[in-house]
Structure 1
Amino acid sequence: MTETATHRKTPIKAAVASWVGTTLEYYDFAVYGTAAALVFNVIFFPPDLPPGIGVLLSMATFAVGFLVRPLGAFILGPLADRFGRKFVMMITLFGIGACTFLIGCLPTYEQIGPLAPILLVVIRMIQGLSVSGEQAAAISMSLEHAPDRRRAFTTSFVTSGSASGGLLATAVFIPFAALPQDVLLGWAWRVPFWLSAVVVVVAYIIRRTLEEPPAFLETQAIKVQIPPMKQALRFHWVAIIRIAACAMIAGVSYVFASFSVAFATTGYELDRPTMLVVPVLASFVALIYTPFGGLLADKIGRKTVFIIGALGAGLTTVPYLWSITTGNWALIFVLGVLCNGLFYSTANAAWPAFFSEMFPNRVRVSGLATGTQIGFALAGAIAPVLSTALAGDDLKNWFGPAMLAIGLMLLSTISALTAKETRKYTLDELDDIQQSEREKEVVTAAIVLPGAARA
Structure 2
Amino acid sequence: MTHPSEQTTRLSPGARKAVVAGTVGTLIEWYDYALYGAAAGLVINRLFFPDLVPAAGVLAAFATFAVGFFIRPLGGVIISHIGDRVGRKPAMIMSVALMGGATVLMGLLPSAQTLGVLAPLLLILLRLVQGFGAGAELAGAITLIAEYAPQRRRALYTAIPNAATAGGSAFATLAFLAVAGLPDDLLLSWGWRIPFLISAVLFVTALYIRNRMDETPEYVAAMESAERRRQRERLPLGELFRGSRREVVLGFLSISGHNAWAYLLNTFALSYLTTTMGMPRTEALIPVITAAFAGMICCPFIGLAADRFGHRRIFILGAAFAIVWVVPLFLGLSSGSVIIATVVMAIAFGLGFGAMAGAQGAFLVNLFPVRYRYSGVAVARESNGVLIAGPTPFIASALVLVGGGSPWLVCGYVAVCCAATIVAVLALGRTNPHPVTEHDHDR
TM-score (norm 1): 0.90
Equivalent position amino acid for 1:196 in 2: S
Match of 2:24 in 1: 20
CA contact (8 A) 1:39 1:189 kept: yes
Offset of residue 142 of structure 1 = 0.3
Distance, in Å, in 2 between the alignment partners of 1:330 and 1:139 is: 35
Counting only pairs closer than 5 Å after superposition, residues 81-120 of structure 1 correspond to structure 2 as: 81-120=84-123
CA contact (8 A) 2:63 2:391 kept: no
Q: Deviations over 1:211-230 (max 9, x none)?
A: 11111101111321321110
Distance, in Å, in 1 between the alignment partners of 2:404 and 2:83 is: 43
CA contact (8 A) 1:53 1:393 kept: no
Match of 1:127 in 2: 130
Distance, in Å, in 1 between the alignment partners of 2:440 and 2:67 is: 35
Q: Deviations over 1:335-366 (max 9, x none)?
A: 10111122211110110110111001111001
Distance 1:381 1:201, change over 3 A: closer
Q: Deviations over 1:217-250 (max 9, x none)?
A: 0111132132111000111111111111111121
Offset of residue 9 of structure 1 = 6.8
- SS of aligned partner of 2:278: coil
Q: Is 1:354 the equivalent of 2:354?
A: no
Distance 1:422 1:297, change over 3 A: farther
- SS of aligned partner of 2:390: helix
Counterpart selection for 2:78 from 75, 79, 92: 75
Counting only pairs closer than 5 Å after superposition, residues 391-430 of structure 1 correspond to structure 2 as: 391-392=400-401, 396-422=405-431, 427-429=436-438
Match of 2:390 in 1: 381
Aligned residues: 429
Offset of residue 162 of structure 1 = 0.5
CA contact (8 A) 2:142 2:161 kept: yes
Distance, in Å, in 2 between the alignment partners of 1:206 and 1:270 is: 40
Distance, in Å, in 2 between the alignment partners of 1:400 and 1:285 is: 26
Match of 1:188 in 2: 191
CA contact (8 A) 2:366 2:433 kept: no
Counting only pairs closer than 5 Å after superposition, residues 143-158 of structure 1 correspond to structure 2 as: 143-158=146-161
Counterpart selection for 2:249 from 210, 233, 241: 241
Mean alpha-carbon deviation: is it higher for 92-101 or for 224-233? 224-233
CA contact (8 A) 2:367 2:433 kept: no
Offset of residue 172 of structure 1 = 1.0
CA contact (8 A) 1:251 1:376 kept: no
Offset of residue 420 of structure 1 = 3.4
Match of 1:447 in 2: none
CA contact (8 A) 1:33 1:62 kept: yes
- SS of aligned partner of 1:145: coil
Offset of residue 393 of structure 1 = 7.5
Distance, in Å, in 1 between the alignment partners of 2:58 and 2:27 is: 26
CA contact (8 A) 1:388 1:395 kept: no
Counting only pairs closer than 5 Å after superposition, residues 29-428 of structure 1 correspond to structure 2 as: 29-47=33-51, 49-221=52-224, 222-223=226-227, 224=231, 225-249=233-257, 250-392=259-401, 396-422=405-431, 427-428=436-437
Match of 1:452 in 2: none
Distance, in Å, in 1 between the alignment partners of 2:171 and 2:403 is: 30
Equivalent position amino acid for 2:16 in 1: I
Equivalent position amino acid for 1:274 in 2: E
Q: Deviations over 1:162-220 (max 9, x none)?
A: 02111111111102111111111111001100011111122123222211111110111
CA contact (8 A) 2:76 2:135 kept: yes
Equivalent position amino acid for 2:331 in 1: W
Offset of residue 18 of structure 1 = 0.7
- SS of aligned partner of 1:35: helix
Mean alpha-carbon deviation: is it higher for 196-205 or for 295-304? 196-205
- SS of aligned partner of 1:10: helix
Q: Deviations over 1:42-95 (max 9, x none)?
A: 110133x22111100000000000011111122111110111111111001111
Q: Deviations over 1:27-53 (max 9, x none)?
A: 011110000001111110133x22111
CA contact (8 A) 1:52 1:393 kept: no
Equivalent position amino acid for 1:346 in 2: A
Distance 1:330 1:363, change over 3 A: same
- SS of aligned partner of 2:74: helix
Distance, in Å, in 1 between the alignment partners of 2:333 and 2:153 is: 39
- SS of aligned partner of 1:391: helix
Q: Which runs of 5+ in 2 are unaligned?
A: 5-11
Q: Deviations over 1:414-437 (max 9, x none)?
A: 1111123458985335886xxxxx
Mean alpha-carbon deviation: is it higher for 314-323 or for 296-305? 314-323
Distance, in Å, in 1 between the alignment partners of 2:315 and 2:440 is: 22
Distance, in Å, in 1 between the alignment partners of 2:326 and 2:414 is: 7
Match of 2:9 in 1: none
- SS of aligned partner of 2:401: coil
Distance, in Å, in 2 between the alignment partners of 1:392 and 1:155 is: 38
Q: CA RMSD in A?
A: 2.0
CA contact (8 A) 1:45 1:114 kept: no
CA contact (8 A) 2:104 2:200 kept: yes
Distance, in Å, in 1 between the alignment partners of 2:76 and 2:205 is: 25
- SS of aligned partner of 1:179: coil
CA contact (8 A) 2:102 2:127 kept: yes
TM-score (norm 2): 0.92
Distance, in Å, in 2 between the alignment partners of 1:92 and 1:186 is: 30
CA contact (8 A) 2:169 2:289 kept: yes
CA contact (8 A) 1:174 1:276 kept: yes
